[in-house]
Amino acid sequence: MKTIKINKKWLTPVLHVAAWIIVFSLPYLLRSPYDPQRSKNPDQEGFFYLSLITDFFWIGLFYLNAFLLVQRFIYKNKYLEYVIVLIAVFCLIMLCHGYVFSHLIKFRPFNFKTSASFNLTTFLLTVAASITYKLMSDKSKADRLFQEKQEENLKTELSFLRSQISPHFVFNVLNNMVALARLKSDQLEPTIMKLSNLMQYMLYETDEEKVLLATEIEYLRSYIDLQKQRFGSKVKLNVSLEAKEDWLSIEPMMLIPFVENAFKHGVGMIENPEINISLCTKQKQLSFEVSNKYNNQTEEIKDKTSGIGLPNVTRRLNLLYGNQHELLITRQDGWFSVSLKLNLH
């Protein structure tokens, strides 16, 4: 048995067209076919075409109001301006209606006042239906977006529980700590504190909806410092984390996947590995850039325990920030680069 697949892209326009056909056909379907006055009217055909053309005016009004006027005036509480614009639109429709009337109706003169009073009810019903449609549509979109955010947060929390940092990384840090303990190095205590900060952040701070940018940056610094101890001089690191507006808020663990990805794919079978990380803020906009050399001749093996991954981070950014962010990921001349601009509040 074949399954019929419906293209959602065309479903909405088809439903709209069907709804308009039904609405404007009702007066003709409900009209008695044996109306003697209608058969004697010499402008019967003219009125039919006039009504048909005027119906398109109402369709235009419906979508103009729904997708432009409501957004620009009602949502911004500019009710007086909205009423004035509606009056102007109504007068414009009546003028167009009168122009069509004068060309189609031959045995009756056009009267603006009579026509306006006759069409006012339809105008108001169209505006009311348009506002209702817009409010319900936006409410539905908001509910759907909220549900997607909830689902995404659940997925992210599961990823946090599985491990935000590669176990290999933690294993190597512990090995380094053992070596430092044997050497009785002064670096042992700072290393323990940095690893403790990482664990504390992952276990407690990520439960919050948002954290201070200063907290997120401190987490990045601890992670990068531990990676420095791990790789030493084998990897050239250029790091600049300067955020003057560190009192701003950001979703936790939003930046670390880009840094994790750089260390994951920017070291190993690469000649003169180099990683560049920079962060700054200006006028409540975060600019974050990460770049690393990569070897395009070697096939990358995905580590399932290496964090939530760039695709999931991209989805999180789209859901949480929408058009308030710009993310650019490029591969060029042996460099993998990530540039993120984020409007914070």
Out of 3.30.70.3270, 3.40.50.720, 3.50.50.60, 3.30.565.10, the CATH code matching 163-343 is 3.30.565.10
Q: What is the pLDDT of residue 303?
A: 44
Helix (H) or strand (E) holding 268: none
Could you tell me if 230 and 172 are in contact, meaning their C-beta atoms sit under 8 angstroms apart? yes
Q: What is the pLDDT of residue 168?
A: 57
Task: Calculate the alpha carbon distances from 37 to 29, 30, 42, 102, 209 in Å.
Answer: 17, 16, 10, 22, 70
Our measurement of the distance from residue 324's CA atom to the centroid of its chain's CA atoms, rounded to an integer in Å, reads 8
Could you tell me if 166 and 306 are in contact, meaning their C-beta atoms sit under 8 angstroms apart? yes
Annotated domain spans of the chain: 8-142, 163-343
Q: What is the pLDDT of residue 239?
A: 94
Confidence (pTM): 0.54
| Distance (Å, whole) CA 238 – CA 276 | 5
Q: What is the pLDDT of residue 327?
A: 94
301 confidence band (pLDDT: 50, 70, 90): very low
Convert the pLDDT of each residue in 44-80 to its tens digit: 777 778 888 888 899 899 999 999 999 899 988 999 9
Convert the pLDDT of each residue in 198-244 to its tens digit: 777 777 666 677 889 998 898 899 888 888 887 888 899 999 998 88
pLDDT at 82 over 60: yes
| Distance (Å, whole) CA 116 – CA 26 | 22
Could you tell me if 70 and 127 are in contact, meaning their C-beta atoms sit under 8 angstroms apart? no
DSSP string of 196-226, one letter each residue: HHHHHHHHTGGGSS-EEHHHHHHHHHHHHHH
169 confidence band (pLDDT: 50, 70, 90): low
Convert the pLDDT of each residue in 317-345 to its tens digit: 887 888 899 999 999 888 999 999 999 87
pLDDT at 266 over 90: no
Take residue 244 and report the two structure tokens written for it.
Answer: 């003057």
Query: Chain-wide mean pLDDT for the chain?
Result: 80
> Any idea what the Cα angle at residue 308 is, between residues 303 and 309, rounded to 5°?
65
Q: What is the pLDDT of residue 238?
A: 94
Q: What is the pLDDT of residue 275?
A: 95
